Amino acid sequence: MRLPIDPQADVARRAWLDCPVCDDARHCEPCADRRNCGEHWRYLISSNGPVVHLQCPRCTHMWSVNTRPGVTRRDDSTPGW
């Protein structure tokens, strides 16, 4: 079952990360060179610090990814020294 495109999706808010489901950019030269490709972008639905929430416009899969793995967020309830 395909999900509908999220109502928060906006073509002006895009990200260039591999879709874990359809892998549509597998044979794309610009994507392989880690350049922004006009065809293989993802909707950037929202973000929470380094965690981004994405949706693939091709297969409509939604997922979240930490763009800074290994870096933990400071607990906002503790005083900042």
Are 24 and 32 spatial neighbours (Cβ–Cβ below 8 Å)? Answer: no
pLDDT greater than 80 at residue 71:
no
15 residue type, one letter: A
Quick: pLDDT tens for 10-26: 999 999 988 999 988 88
Report how far residue 33's alpha carbon sits from residue 48's, in angstroms, rounded to the nearest whole number: 27
Q: Who wins on pLDDT, 75 or 57?
A: 57
Quick: pLDDT tens for 32-44: 888 888 899 999 9
pLDDT attached to residue 66: 94
The phi-psi region of residue 62 (left if phi > 0; otherwise alpha if psi is between -120 and 50; otherwise beta) is beta
Q: Which residues contact 23 (CB under 8 A, 6 or more apart)?
A: none
Q: What's the rounded mean pLDDT across residues 74-81?
A: 50
